[in-house]
Amino acid sequence: MTDLDLASRGGPLPLLALLPACREVLRKNFPLLLTAEPGAGKTSLLPLALLDEPWLNGQKVLVLEPRRLAAYAAAQRASVLSGTEVGQLAGFRTGEETRVSQSTRLEFITEGVLLRLLSHDPGLEGVGVVIFDEFHERTLEGDQGLAFCLDIRQNLRDDLRLAVMSATLDTEAMRTVLPDAVVEFSPGRTFPVVTTYRPLMRTASEAIAQAVQEAWTATSGSLLVFLPGWAEIQQVKERLDGPAAEHNELLSVLHATLAPGDQTALLSPGSQRRTILSSAVAETSLTLPDVDMVIDAGWSRLVRLDLRTGMDKLVTERVSQASADQRRGRAGRVRPGQCWRLWAADEVLEPFTPPQILRSELSGLVLSSLLWGAHRPADLRWVTPPSEAGWDQSLRLLETLGAVQAGRPTNLGKKIQEWGVSPRLGRLLAEGRDLGALPTAAACVIALEERNPRPDTDFRQRLSFSGSAYRRWQNLCHRLGVKPEAPVAALVGPLLARAFPERVCQRQTGPESSHQGPVSQYQSAGGRSLTVTGNLARERWLAVAEADAGTTVGRIWAAAPLTGEEVERLASDQGLVWELETPLTPKLFRVRRWGALLLERTGVPLAQSPELVAAAWVEAVAAQGLDCLPWAEDVQALLGRIRAWAAGGKGPDPAAWTDQTLVAELETWAVPFLNFAGGAVMTAERLQEALTYRLGPDAGRLEAQAPRWVTLPSGKRRRIEYGPHGPYLELKLQEAFGWAQAPQVLGRPLVLHLLSPAGRPLQITADLAGFWKTSYREVRKDYRGRYPKHAWPEDPTDPSELDNALKRHPVRATNKA
């Protein structure tokens, strides 16, 4: 279509002036980054303006939209501008509905659809350009779709054109992956919007309802009220139902969980003005008829992954500046408008909403990346890379689900992508196939994808479908090759347990009464504490489909009961599992578990599995260190002698006797001496035997090189201590009388710790001869008066003088020999 055609049918939209520049950028095969303010016409004009480009050569234009309502509205607008019906020149594809034909060249698709197309056709044959619209929303599928397209452009098809568009595009972030991109800017075609700040002074729902009633008299057009989510929409609607009926005002709601038909009905003009209570779904890509006033509560409902628990947390956060600007722009699309912001004018907002890739569970992204051939985040170019911790946690989940093994997708993983569902839902379908219950499994998948806002926690109640959900269930059954038979309620719990294995829960306390009904606390197989309210609180076992991680205790939003027999069938027999009552006295149990939940524990004799006990003992010692072993005094002394001998360079290799090596080689030197007959597995006597065994042929030389005892001049024996700094001997000074010099140990004089008659330190020396000649004289002078009954010869090395002194003053030993 020519620009003149577009202008004649769409009016003087601002982007018309920029279309030649945009076409030139793409003709030269540069990526296009288009920042276009609301009302510029980027979503409808640019794709149509490219259809006749020579480089496109009859290929398709794909435009990605973050929401199905936006895809439908864009296809409808493009069809109006091209003078055709939806599904002819321009069509759309979403997860729920497809309207295309053989003649369709422009497709508006949701981002998940692109990933499914890429899984079947990694080269996107027949597609000339991919346009990512409203990319500021930074959805998980959008970021991954762009990463895959960049990979295609680099490795498969350098002719594939790319364009990224938004009214609030973070061009600096985009240049990290598109350094050669050309940035273009278009002003919008919006009318002036007067912005007023009205901080809330009462509870939110009451204040918002009051603001809406005031707005009814402040404008003659329709109102668009932005609220965080479904709960707030319902609360405000309840407060407005009466006043709306009284003043003949039409209330409507807009939320992602509504059926597509209910959503698209709001795009058509009506005879009566409307007050639309909406979530963030109405922020972008939509022009709602007759809206000239926006009331923005200023909050967004986001899903954030708790890496500690692997569970999502629903959080309500202040809206970003980019989202607030998008919301305000909705008031100026058809005439001058107003925007009431229900927060203070001086409050500083974050520039952008955090990308979903940083706050969501990544198992689907990781699985499709593995199937693409990217095994780590660095293998692809991401605007914002997924975190290593999030990637690794998702890998572990995929292995638990059986979709990945040893870092590679399994046949089940490939089947999950073929089915086009998330890994958890794929595991659910696989279980349904194995149980012969695919219709029930398909119903569970549809119910989980619906994100039903109803408060009923019994998931089985969600399987009664109508409208679009019923059609989606029928379509899924058809794709799976089964008839859509009524779901079997009794199978829902076991199916959910396979999809959410870490969320199988056992009741710990309750049920107790509360104003909302019975309430009980559960522990999950993942080790998390969760509560549930309602009839499910009476069940002992639950399979949880939806839960909020919370802070200390989470909350169950949707679950189905399990029987004890079903949990037993789920649980794998972990065989003989050990636990230590004391560090060295293990007790052996046969245990059945499901994650953190203990189902059965039976004691068995150690001798039933000596290999398991030995492995458990080695693991315990490795974890606690050698200090947990029975180091009796003699055993500790033996190890000290060996290490001192090795350090002297004439014994064994010192590296073989470090704590690290001894722990690493427990199985070779210690395990053969373990006791499996009961009692302590390792005793001091067995530990001494094990150390001697480790010495091998060197054991015979140890006594000569590093003796255990030394004979004193009196004839008594005294034990040599082998410390970390070498061997030493502790004795009273009088016990050294008769030695001219210290005895030799390990080829050098033994260090002597000389004590007073009272056992107090006098001198530490290895040069005993030097001590007798020097320091001893001062010691004798100071101490002979204090201890007159002890011998103090002038020359302790003179035998005759020593004999006379000892006759008068017998030596008293410090220690028993």
CA distance 50 to 89: 13
Q: For residue 285, what pLDDT band results from cuts at 50, 70 and 90?
A: low
Q: What is the pLDDT of residue 307?
A: 56
CB atoms within 10 A of CB 635: 20
Q: What is the pLDDT of residue 811?
A: 53
Region 240-269 average pLDDT: 78
Q: What is the average pLDDT score of the chain?
A: 88
Alpha helices (H) along 108-224: 111-120, 140-155, 171-175, 204-218
Q: What is the pLDDT of residue 283?
A: 78
In what side-by-side order are the strands of the sheet with 585-594? 572-582, 585-594, 597-604
Q: What is the pLDDT of residue 455?
A: 62
Region 442-452 average pLDDT: 84
Region 741-747 average pLDDT: 89
Q: For residue 584, what pLDDT band results from cuts at 50, 70 and 90?
A: low
Q: Which residue has tokens 């490219």?
A: 50
Q: Which residue has tokens 């210290």?
A: 742
Most confident of 140-149, 572-581, 796-805: 140-149
Confidence check: pLDDT of 690 > 90: yes
Q: Which residue has tokens 């170019």?
A: 381
Q: What is the pLDDT of residue 290?
A: 85
Q: For residue 817, what pLDDT band results from cuts at 50, 70 and 90?
A: very low
Higher per-residue pLDDT: 807 or 128: 128
Q: What is the pLDDT of residue 6?
A: 75
Q: What is the pLDDT of residue 804?
A: 76
CA distance 211 to 283: 20
Confidence check: pLDDT of 277 > 90: yes
Chain segment 298-325, per-residue pLDDT in tens? 998 887 766 555 556 678 889 999 889 8
- pTM to 2 decimal places: 0.69
Give the residue from 687, 680, 698 showing the smallest Cα distance to 637: 687
The 3 state secondary structure assigned to 435-492 is HCCHHHHHHHHHHHHHCCCCCCCEHHHHHCCCHHHHHHHHHHHHHHCCCCCCCCHHHH
Q: What is the pLDDT of residue 814?
A: 43
Region 782-797 average pLDDT: 87
Confidence check: pLDDT of 815 > 50: no
For the ranges 284-288, 329-333, 571-575, 669-673, the lowest mean pLDDT is seen at 571-575
Helix count and strand count (H, E) for the chain: 28, 34
Higher per-residue pLDDT: 100 or 451: 100
Q: What is the pLDDT of residue 794?
A: 87
The 3 state secondary structure assigned to 281-303 is HHCCCCCCCCEEEEEECCEEEEE
**Which tokens belong to 12?**
């003087």
Q: CB-based contacts of 420: which residues, under 8 Å, 6+ apart?
A: 112, 116, 119
Region 162-168 average pLDDT: 92
Q: What is the pLDDT of residue 260?
A: 58
Chain segment 371-401, per-residue pLDDT in tens? 999 999 999 999 999 999 889 999 999 999 9
Q: What is the pLDDT of residue 141?
A: 92
Q: What is the pLDDT of residue 581?
A: 62
Chain segment 7-49, per-residue pLDDT in tens? 767 677 888 999 999 999 999 999 999 999 877 889 989 999 9
CB 739 within 8 A of CB 761: no
**Helices 3-10 and 42-50, axial angle in degrees (round to 10):** 150
Q: For residue 454, what pLDDT band results from cuts at 50, 70 and 90?
A: low
Higher per-residue pLDDT: 5 or 635: 635
Residue 702 CA: distances (Å) to CA of 366, 410, 436, 670: 59, 58, 72, 20
- Hey, CA dihedral for 212, 214, 216, 218, is it positive or negative? negative
Q: What is the pLDDT of residue 573?
A: 56
Confidence check: pLDDT of 813 > 50: no
CA distance 115 to 127: 14
Q: For residue 816, what pLDDT band results from cuts at 50, 70 and 90?
A: very low
Chain segment 517-547, per-residue pLDDT in tens? 899 999 999 888 999 998 999 999 999 998 8
**What is the percent of the chain where pLDDT is above 90?**
52
Region 429-452 average pLDDT: 90
Chain segment 323-337, per-residue pLDDT in tens? 898 899 889 888 899
Q: Which residue has tokens 């497809």?
A: 98
* H or E element at residue 732: strand 726-732
Q: What is the pLDDT of residue 551?
A: 66
Confidence check: pLDDT of 805 > 80: no
Higher per-residue pLDDT: 96 or 662: 662
What are the structural domains, with CATH classification, of the chain? 3-186 (3.40.50.300), 193-356 (3.40.50.300), 457-561 (no CATH), 571-706 (no CATH), 709-808 (no CATH)
Q: For residue 286, what pLDDT band results from cuts at 50, 70 and 90?
A: low
Q: What is the pLDDT of residue 262?
A: 62
Confidence check: pLDDT of 582 > 70: no
Q: What is the pLDDT of residue 452?
A: 61
CB 269 within 8 A of CB 289: yes
CB 543 within 8 A of CB 560: yes
Q: What is the pLDDT of residue 45?
A: 92
Q: Which residue has tokens 């919008």?
A: 188
Q: What is the pLDDT of residue 579?
A: 66
Q: What is the pLDDT of residue 372?
A: 95
* H or E element at residue 184: strand 182-186
CA distance 44 to 40: 9
